[in-house]
Amino acid sequence: MSANSILLDFSLDPARIIDEVSRKDIVRVCKEGLEKYLTGLKISYDMLTTDGYLCILSETGTGTIVTIRFFEQGLITINVEYYRKDGDEAKISFENMKMLENGLRIRLEAKRSKHLPPIKRGSSVDVYLTSSDERVIEYDIDRVLFDKRSEFQKIQIVHSRSLGNMLVLDELQNIAEADLIYTETLMCRGKEDYAGKEICILGGGDGALLYELLKEGPKMVVMLEIDEIVMQACNKYMNTICGDVLEKRTDDNYEIIVGDCMVYLRKYIKEGRKFDYVFGDLTDIPISDTPTGEIWDFIRTILESSFQVLKPDGKFMTHGNGVSCPESLRMYEDQLAKLTPKVTYTKSSAFVPSFMEEWVFYQVQREVANATESV
Amino acid sequence: MSANSILLDFSLDPARIIDEVSRKDIVRVCKEGLEKYLTGLKISYDMLTTDGYLCILSETGTGTIVTIRFFEQGLITINVEYYRKDGDEAKISFENMKMLENGLRIRLEAKRSKHLPPIKRGSSVDVYLTSSDERVIEYDIDRVLFDKRSEFQKIQIVHSRSLGNMLVLDELQNIAEADLIYTETLMCRGKEDYAGKEICILGGGDGALLYELLKEGPKMVVMLEIDEIVMQACNKYMNTICGDVLEKRTDDNYEIIVGDCMVYLRKYIKEGRKFDYVFGDLTDIPISDTPTGEIWDFIRTILESSFQVLKPDGKFMTHGNGVSCPESLRMYEDQLAKLTPKVTYTKSSAFVPSFMEEWVFYQVQREVANATESV
């Protein structure tokens, strides 16, 4: 049940947009094309705009409204909008949209044309998520399994036909059942040796990183997650990626602490507790243009504190951003360059199914440690 | 340079949609919210529709038009549409769209709300492609490298920031530089032994399958591709996936024949020529509901002819469809079930980056051959 916006557009000679006779003819052609699928279209309103012309058509007896716009640059856009109830046939099937587009392109002698699958609006299942570089992606989400707002964020677990269950935090895709590659790239499986190591995870509430690390025989993993509700949701719906670690919460070789990771990092610093690895599995690094915001401060604080609890040759492992956001990645690297003591870093990347993009991960360690290693 | 459609929607109590006073109030609130970003909005037109209400606002001195629709089911949609020239700032940045949505959600006391990244229309670089199950996906395509219509299809090679160069045939994503997994899953690398084998590829004009097969030491690979222009385009822009095979066209262990694969299959049948493997790397299997169309006939003919040139234990390897299209996959399997002599098949699948979905591949062989094997 949603309002459907069917969007078509056609590029043609700008002269034909400005000329009134030609414009009337174009509206007539569009109307005739649309009337194969919509009954009794009539023009309800039209007006000249600063850069062209607008014409509103309505279908007799239904709420379907067609908006045709002419842009002086040589573009015509058509929006067909109607409310589609559950079980209703689409007014114009995808196959028919193709035919409508092709038919109009030929009749309008358009240089190019395009139609999009209908944009579904107001549906209880939200299928549109956004990539790191603000592209719209329609997911094959068919059910919402969990939907709650915690003290910290909006938490949803949805089901995608191709990705399995997927954790969505504040409208951002976090991890899906199909995303083992995410965890494996974050931890550099096969390259890093976790056997007998002491590890601290900052965040990681979905449990996937902890679950995979435990397979590598670490001495101890401490996970610091602030949001109890995320863990409850993942424990219930994401077992294939987190096993029983969120259910058990603690065992000989791991412990999950519900709390603010900064509080515990400070505690560990005071106690002199040290780790071989610290994982930053918190909020995504921000995309904003200038590294002045609260989130960047938070990220720098996390980095500095993490290095205070890392052994001299310890590593800070974290996710970065999409490769499509080079500015954001560069800004993160700028932050790394500012750290004292100096650090060096390597990068890994992988196409993460639920992100629908190639994602970059960082492995950061002290420069001194590297120098020592190379001796 | 494109027209931008900014789409927002808000769900609220249906009673507030029907009541005229409440409706006026809602329009006022929307107008005030929008006026943070648009200057001097005035109502140009409004009308009652069969299922609600429509209101058109225009921005003073610009071509920006805002369409607000009320649907009696309890939904308000807002479209903000304007022409954005190259170099122009967005009227409402993505960050501001979030703020606009949040602000209006609170002021309208909406139960849910949504905004999408602006839909770009009429751009010379088309960034929207469609998944096998008709979902819209915005790609990070930034350049069109090749754009020609051959005798057989519309051929484009575009550049995606995350996927590299990508072959698009008739608006369908075919293969990108990031898609080695596609070829490896199609050929079941690591499971099938191609050393010393005779192989026939039907289609495969991008050259990737041929290129990868040659790494496995086959005796001979014959590739039958109908579209010379696809091969020229891929040879120029897709070298990372096809190497020099499309440039050389022939060598001791392979031969590319430009022609209709059916003609050559018939020739091979007549000659009694046999292969260990036939690859079906042609058009995608269709999504349509009933297996009566031309394409299904074509697919069945291909299958039948392929088995006539396959050795008794030979295999037919092909791509299927997205896992999100179970009906289409089932229909393909129905076609397989109808073949004489009887066949059995196995399936493999992989998430293909440029498809942005999990794709299914088939390995088909004669039932008799299997029985022999198991003795």
Residue B186 has pLDDT above 80, yes or no: yes
C-alpha of B233 from chain center: 19
CB pair distance less than 8 Å for B75 and A61: no
Q: Which residues in B lie closer than 8 A to residue A47 (C-beta atoms)?
A: 44-45, 58
CB pair distance less than 8 Å for B61 and A50: yes
- Lowest mean pLDDT segment, chosen from A76-90, A277-291, B170-184: A277-291
Residue B369 has pLDDT above 60, yes or no: no
Under 8 Å between Cβ of A161 and A329: no
Q: What is the pLDDT of residue B375?
A: 38
Instruction: Read off the pLDDT band of A293 (50, 70, 90).
Output: low
CA of A24 vs chain B CAs: smallest distance (Å): 19
What letter would DSSP give residue B238?
A: -
Distance CA A173, CA A136 (A): 12
Mean per-residue pLDDT over chain A, rounded:
92
CB pair distance less than 8 Å for B54 and A56: yes
Residue B135 has pLDDT above 50, yes or no: yes
Mean per-residue pLDDT over chain B, rounded:
92
Cross-strand pairs, A47: A54
Residue A288 has pLDDT above 70, yes or no: no
Q: What is the pLDDT of residue A155?
A: 95
Distance CA A14, CA A11 (A): 9
Angle between helices B261-271 and B294-308 (to 10 degrees): 30
Q: What is the pLDDT of residue A284?
A: 56
Count of C-beta atoms within a 10 Å radius of residue B292: 9
**Residue B82: partners with Cβ closer than 8 Å, 6 or more residues away:** B3, B4, B59, B62, B63, B64, B65, B91
Q: What is the pLDDT of residue B114?
A: 95
Q: Stretch A292-316: mean pLDDT, rounded? A: 88
Q: What is the pLDDT of residues A222-262, one digit of tens each?
A: 999 999 999 999 999 999 999 999 999 999 999 999 999 99
Count of C-beta atoms within a 10 Å radius of residue B109: 11
Residue B18, Cβ density class (10 Å: 0-12 exposed, 13-18 middle, ≥19 buried): middle
- Which tokens go with A112? 């190019």
Cβ-Cβ pairs closer than 8 A, A with B, add up to: 187
Residue A51 has pLDDT above 90, yes or no: yes
Q: What is the pLDDT of residue B341?
A: 87
Q: Which DSSP helix (H) or strand (E) runs through A78? A: strand A75-84
Distance CA A186, CA A210 (A): 12
Distance CA B206, CA B175 (A): 8
Distance CA B266, CA B277 (A): 16
C-alpha of B230 from chain center: 18
Instruction: Read off the pLDDT band of A292 (50, 70, 90).
Output: low
Q: Stretch A195-205: mean pLDDT, rounded? A: 97
Instruction: Read off the pLDDT band of A171 (50, 70, 90).
Output: confident
DSSP assignment of A10-50: EE--HHHHH-HHHHHHHHHHHHHHHTTTSSSEEEEEEEEET
Q: What is the pLDDT of residue A323?
A: 87
Instruction: Read off the pLDDT band of B4 (50, 70, 90).
Output: very high
Q: What is the pLDDT of residues A4-27, one digit of tens each?
A: 999 999 999 999 988 899 999 999
With H, G, I as helix, E, B as strand and everything else as coil, classify residue A339: coil
Residue A287 has pLDDT above 80, yes or no: no
Q: Which residues in A lie closer than 8 A to residue B3 (C-beta atoms)?
A: 9, 69, 71, 75, 77
CA of A49 vs chain B CAs: smallest distance (Å): 6
Q: Stretch B211-220: mean pLDDT, rounded? A: 98
Q: What is the pLDDT of residues B69-87, one digit of tens each?
A: 999 999 999 999 999 998 8
Q: Which DSSP helix (H) or strand (E) runs through A328? A: helix A326-338
Q: What is the pLDDT of residues B259-297, one digit of tens each?
A: 999 999 999 999 999 999 999 998 655 444 445 567 778
Q: Which residues in B lie closer than 8 A to residue A2 (C-beta atoms)?
A: 75
- Going along chain A from its start, the domains and CATH numbers come out as 2-121 (3.30.160.110), 128-174 (2.30.140.10), 176-366 (3.40.50.150)
**Strand intervals (E) in A116-171:** 119-121, 128-130, 136-138, 141-149, 154-160, 164-169
Q: Give catalytic residue positions of B.
A: 281
ipTM score assigned to the predicted complex: 0.88
CB pair distance less than 8 Å for B9 and A1: no
CA of A189 vs chain B CAs: smallest distance (Å): 19
CB pair distance less than 8 Å for B128 and A138: no
